[in-house]
Amino acid sequence: NQGVELTFGGNLTAVSGIGASAAQCVCLARALAEAQGKKLTEEEVNVAGYEGEKGYHGTPSGIDNTAATYGGVLRFQRDEEKPIFSKQVVKQRVEI
């Protein structure tokens, strides 16, 4: 067993409403897997991100970690058993 010391920096704070904590959890899952020479599936990364989000929010919806894991435009529906999501294809450019 090896100890790990983590230091996160930046201006984005957890529980700010922009998904920063979920992005942090997802990147941490990816970094730790890579450091250990493990290959995680996107679903495994997403599950790890969701578990990390529980530490910040208790009962997160699952959308922030899902967006941080898969990126793009997502359709998300929280369900009692398992959240349902699908990547959406945007056929034309969207300007905001």
Determine whether 65 is exposed, middle or buried from the number of CB atoms within 10 Å of its CB (0-12, 13-18, 19+): buried
Determine whether 90 is exposed, middle or buried from the number of CB atoms within 10 Å of its CB (0-12, 13-18, 19+): exposed
Active-site residue, selected from the candidate residues 52, 62, 64, 66 = 64
- In terms of Cα–Cα distance, which of 38, 42, 68 is closest to 53? 68
Residue 64 catalytic?
A: yes
Check: CB of residue 69 under 8 Å from CB of residue 42.
yes
Catalytic residue IDs? 64
